[in-house]
Structure 1
Amino acid sequence: MEITLDKHAANEALIKITLNEADYQPKVDAKIKDYVKKANIKGFRPGKAPFGMVKNLYGTSVLVEEINQILSSTLGDFIKKQEFKVLGDPLPVLEDGKEIDWKKQKDFDFSYKIGFVETVTVDLDVAKEVKDYKVEVSEKELSDAITNIKRQYGKMTNPEVSAENDFLYGDLKSADGSFEKTLSLPLSKIDSEAVPKFIGVEKGAVIELDPANVLKEEAADLLNISEEEAKNLSGDFTFTVQNINRTEEAELNQELFDKLFGVDQVKSEEEFLEKVKEILAENYNREMQVYAEEEIKKLLIEHANIDLPESFLKEWLLKANGEKLTESDIEKEYPAYARQLVWSLVSNKIAEENGIKAEHEDVIEKTKAMIRQQLASSGLGAQMESNMDLFVNNYLQGNEGQNYMQMITSVQNDKVVAFIKEKAQLEEEIITVEKFNELLEN
């Protein structure tokens, strides 16, 4: 057997494996002898068929199978011994017009294209440019959050006369009969100058309006029509009120506290306000953590100066995804893939050099945190905590084990970023919600 490596480019190479008869024939003969013992061929007692006959029947398939196994293990072992990092999987080179004659050939040549990177260098000092932002929740944000909670958990009523922030259920019709729609009209969504028209009205009232002036940019969403249709919606219309819906805000009492946070977890209005403020800050700062992580990744990726084998990776992605992706899809998605690949190389390098590993216990805790967040957003957090272990097991065992592997990668990523932050000693800066929104928009 002979293996050669030809680095014909800075980040691509060709591995050639030459096999002669001595490399595979002993294994092939051993496998055929095993077939002889088990073969059930007509005219012969089980296990008594001649070696030559069994070889004639199964020899080619056994040869192909054994050579493929030799190639797989040989290629894998050879790659493991190299100092460079192979990306993707080796791609077999199929020479046009050249077919293997499995019955007559004794020597075989196989070639594989590989893409690789020689070295990965990491400069953690560049992360010092990133700020560790902490969001301070103002009284206005807290007040708005409390108002939203009271409305979300409030009681629906149907008053006789409409007021500000009510929903009017009724029929919108054009004067010429070309348009008619039944909808629930939120007074908070219509133009402020038109609101007085809709306040103080009773069921059965008919309100004249021009949708272009009243609904404006909300028309498409409220009427469930296209933007183009909404632009052409103007003229003389009427809205006939069928019903008035109003949400009476929930009271800040123990019943609401228990519903939100679990029985007796919050016992006063002061504790409630503090808890809501704490949750708001946690939500904002969770976003800021993600923002800081992305900034850190961007800087480390830029300074890693890794030259990826782009043509090889595009070819590999196309073949690896079969019919799922076209060449056009690959071209479109490659920049994002390349960025993630470089970060993976950098992250793994940092983990290897500093003994950072994702432990099973870390995976469990991160999965619990993820599920708690999902349940909390649906208002079920406290009630479902007793079933947490079941939720965690079901999630980690799902998707044929891929969920667990993805969570391991996520945990390691968290540990690597935490390590970078600690080493870089990021400067903390307290910001407002306005600054928070500005950072995310940019």
Structure 2
Amino acid sequence: MNISRSQVDALNAIVTVAISKNDYADKVAKVLADYRKNANIPGFRKGAVPMSLIEKQYGKAVLLDEVNKILQASLNDYLVEEKLDILGNPLPKITEDFNWDKEDFTFEFELGLAPEFKVDLNAKSSVVKYEIVADEKMLDEQVERIQKQYGKLISQDKVAEDHTLRGTFTNEEKGINNTTTITLDIFNDKKTAKLFVGKKVGDIVELKTKGLFDDDHKLMDYLKVGHDDVHGLDIVVNFTIEEINSVEKAELNQELFDKLFGEGVVTSVEDLKAKIKEDAEGQFAQQADQKFLNDVIESLIENTKFDLPETFLKKWIQTVGENPLSEDQANEEYAKSEKGLRYQLIEGKIIAENNLQITFEDLRSHTAVLIKQQMAQFGQLNPTDEEIDGIVARVMSNQDEVKRLSEQVMNEKMMHLFKEKVNAKAKKVNYQEFIKAMYGEE
């Protein structure tokens, strides 16, 4: 047997595998001999069937099977030995006049090779690292929200400007049907608020969505429509009033503070605001980190230039699924997956060059932290180490969970690396400014 490679260009190669009779003859003979021992053919005793009859009945199928085994094993060994970094899988070249009646066979495979490129994490980029600050306006709003949430609801017959309404926004054409609680100060102008004044439970208020709020993104919260739909949304929605309540706000006293945070943790309004600020900015940091990670990935894909064996990959996509794709379908699928493939290559190089490895201890520690957080949500604040270790062991016995957790750990390692090395501009913003930046509306 002989294997050789010819380079078409930097990203494409042809591997030729030549298999002679000496490579497969003994294997085919052994399999046929085993067939003969166990063959049950009328007119012959078991084990006494003439070999010529066995060869006539099974010879071609056994030959194909054994040659294919040799072919696959030798090709795989060759790729490993030559340390070829290939994309997809080798594609056999179809030979119209291939003849299985010959004794020697030659097979050709197309290879798509991974490109050579460099990743520069320190290069100048337009990536912004946001720090989201809970400003005074937000803190005041949150304090008022807490007072209303823990205040006393008093049912009312008619709507007044300071009342809280529970009801449902609907629009059949857009599939909008969302029950929510509102106050009249959420609307962008007083004329809209006055439409509600004097209304009763069961009444329907007709509203135009265009300019309904000071920020179109609020339509996402109150109407549950997607981001792509909110900008310039100009439809009529109905709000059906289901409850009318006035709220007697809770007093900002020690009893309320202890109910919220535990005895003595917060002792003043200033402490309350500090606690709200700490909790809010902790949650904001996670959102800012996710945007930073996404933006770095987009920047790396855009600025790390290399070619791909496009023709090969499209051909491979046609054959890789359960059902073969047409050329047009493969082109469409390639267009969808190209960015993902590019980042896989970039990520692989970053991981290799920065020696980012996931150890068992990394996985165990990450899993333990997640479990403690989940238990805390259900009031289990002080689990024992034995309890945590037992749950960790059960989680990590599930291979799907291990894969999911490994991806999370690697994302964290990539995040730390990007924060350390990526040349990003730091910028402090409030939450509304961040939302606009997240959707590209700065």
Distance 1:50 1:308 in 2: 56
How far off its partner does 1:276 sit?
3.4
Q: Which residue of 1 aligns with 2:402?
A: 404
Query: Are 2:132 and 2:429, in contact at CA under 8 Å, matched by a contact in 1?
Result: yes
Secondary structure of the residue aligned to 2:140 is helix
Q: Which residue of 2 aligns with 1:195?
A: 193
How far off its partner does 1:3 sit?
2.1
Matched, 1:90 2:90: yes
Query: Are 2:166 and 2:243, in contact at CA under 8 Å, matched by a contact in 1?
Result: yes
Secondary structure of the residue aligned to 2:190 is coil
How far off its partner does 1:313 sit?
1.5
Q: Which residue of 1 aligns with 2:174?
A: none
Q: Which residue of 1 aligns with 2:278?
A: 278
How far off its partner does 1:407 sit?
4.0
Q: Which residue of 2 aligns with 1:334?
A: 334
1:227-238 paired onto structure 2 within 5 Å: none
Q: Which residue of 2 aligns with 1:26?
A: 26
Q: Which residue of 1 aligns with 2:15?
A: 15
How far off its partner does 1:134 sit?
2.6
Query: Are 1:84 and 1:116, in contact at CA under 8 Å, matched by a contact in 2?
Result: yes
Q: Which residue of 1 aligns with 2:116?
A: 119
Matched, 1:166 2:164: yes
How far off its partner does 1:18 sit?
1.9
- Matched to 2:266, the amino acid is S
Distance 1:211 1:435 in 2: 27
Query: Are 1:133 and 1:431, in contact at CA under 8 Å, matched by a contact in 2?
Result: yes
Q: Which residue of 2 aligns with 1:70?
A: 70
Q: Which residue of 1 aligns with 2:352?
A: 352
How far off its partner does 1:32 sit?
2.8
- Matched to 2:290, the amino acid is V
TM-score calculated relative to the size of structure 1: 0.71
Distance 1:171 1:140 in 2: 27
Query: Relative to 1, partners in 2 of residues 1:397 and 1:213: Cα closer, same or farther, differing over 3 Å?
Result: closer
Q: Which residue of 2 aligns with 1:143?
A: 140
- Matched to 1:359, the amino acid is T
How far off its partner does 1:309 sit?
1.0
Query: Relative to 1, partners in 2 of residues 1:74 and 1:299: Cα closer, same or farther, differing over 3 Å?
Result: same
Distance 1:223 1:353 in 2: 44
| Aligned with residue 102 of structure 2, among 105, 108, 111 | 105
- Matched to 2:315, the amino acid is E
- Matched to 2:320, the amino acid is A
Q: Which residue of 2 aligns with 1:287?
A: 287
Query: Relative to 1, partners in 2 of residues 1:85 and 1:152: Cα closer, same or farther, differing over 3 Å?
Result: farther
Distance 1:394 1:152 in 2: 39
How far off its partner does 1:339 sit?
2.4
Q: Which residue of 2 aligns with 1:79?
A: 79
Per-residue deviation, residues 105-140 of structure 1 (Å, max 9, x unmatched): 322222222211342323232167755443322122
Query: Are 2:166 and 2:182, in contact at CA under 8 Å, matched by a contact in 1?
Result: yes
- Matched to 2:118, the amino acid is T
Query: Relative to 1, partners in 2 of residues 1:302 and 1:152: Cα closer, same or farther, differing over 3 Å?
Result: same
Query: Relative to 1, partners in 2 of residues 1:183 and 1:420: Cα closer, same or farther, differing over 3 Å?
Result: closer
1:293-442 paired onto structure 2 within 5 Å: 293-323=293-323, 330-332=330-332, 334-335=334-335, 337-366=337-366, 380=377, 382=379, 401-402=399-400, 404-423=402-421, 429-442=427-440
How far off its partner does 1:328 sit?
5.3
- Matched to 2:343, the amino acid is W
Distance 2:150 2:325 in 1: 46
Query: Are 1:367 and 1:392, in contact at CA under 8 Å, matched by a contact in 2?
Result: yes
- Matched to 2:82, the amino acid is Q
Query: Relative to 1, partners in 2 of residues 1:402 and 1:210: Cα closer, same or farther, differing over 3 Å?
Result: closer
Query: Are 2:11 and 2:113, in contact at CA under 8 Å, matched by a contact in 1?
Result: yes
Per-residue deviation, residues 188-232 of structure 1 (Å, max 9, x unmatched): 46663132343355557x68x7655999697xx8699x99xx978
Query: Relative to 1, partners in 2 of residues 1:152 and 1:306: Cα closer, same or farther, differing over 3 Å?
Result: farther
Query: Are 2:93 and 2:107, in contact at CA under 8 Å, matched by a contact in 1?
Result: yes
Query: Relative to 1, partners in 2 of residues 1:182 and 1:303: Cα closer, same or farther, differing over 3 Å?
Result: closer
TM-score calculated relative to the size of structure 2: 0.71
Secondary structure of the residue aligned to 1:125 is coil
Query: Are 1:11 and 1:118, in contact at CA under 8 Å, matched by a contact in 2?
Result: yes
Distance 1:293 1:171 in 2: 36
Would you say how many aligned residue pairs link Structure 1 and Structure 2? 415
What are the ranges of 5 or more consecutive residues in structure 2 without an aligned counterpart? 171-176, 214-218
Secondary structure of the residue aligned to 2:9 is coil
Query: Relative to 1, partners in 2 of residues 1:170 and 1:420: Cα closer, same or farther, differing over 3 Å?
Result: closer
The structure richer in helix per residue is 1
What is the percentage of aligned positions where both structures have the same residue?
Answer: 28
Secondary structure of the residue aligned to 1:194 is helix
Secondary structure of the residue aligned to 1:311 is helix
Distance 1:73 1:89 in 2: 14
Per-residue deviation, residues 218-251 of structure 1 (Å, max 9, x unmatched): 7xx8699x99xx97869xx9x9967535677778
Query: Are 2:168 and 2:241, in contact at CA under 8 Å, matched by a contact in 1?
Result: yes
Query: Relative to 1, partners in 2 of residues 1:118 and 1:77: Cα closer, same or farther, differing over 3 Å?
Result: farther
Query: Are 2:209 and 2:236, in contact at CA under 8 Å, matched by a contact in 1?
Result: no
- Matched to 2:17, the amino acid is I
Per-residue deviation, residues 168-188 of structure 1 (Å, max 9, x unmatched): 65999xxxxxxxx99889554
How far off its partner does 1:315 sit?
2.3
Distance 1:38 1:49 in 2: 9
Query: Are 1:117 and 1:307, in contact at CA under 8 Å, matched by a contact in 2?
Result: no
1:151-162 paired onto structure 2 within 5 Å: 158-162=155-159
- Matched to 1:198, the amino acid is F
Query: Relative to 1, partners in 2 of residues 1:196 and 1:132: Cα closer, same or farther, differing over 3 Å?
Result: closer
Instruction: Tell me whether 269-278 or 110-119 shows the greater mean CA deviation.
Output: 269-278
Query: Are 1:160 and 1:203, in contact at CA under 8 Å, matched by a contact in 2?
Result: yes
CA RMSD of aligned residues (A): 4.9
1:35-54 paired onto structure 2 within 5 Å: 35-39=35-39, 49-54=49-54
- Matched to 1:72, the amino acid is Q
Secondary structure of the residue aligned to 2:123 is helix
Query: Relative to 1, partners in 2 of residues 1:231 and 1:336: Cα closer, same or farther, differing over 3 Å?
Result: closer
Query: Are 1:39 and 1:46, in contact at CA under 8 Å, matched by a contact in 2?
Result: yes
How far off its partner does 1:286 sit?
1.9
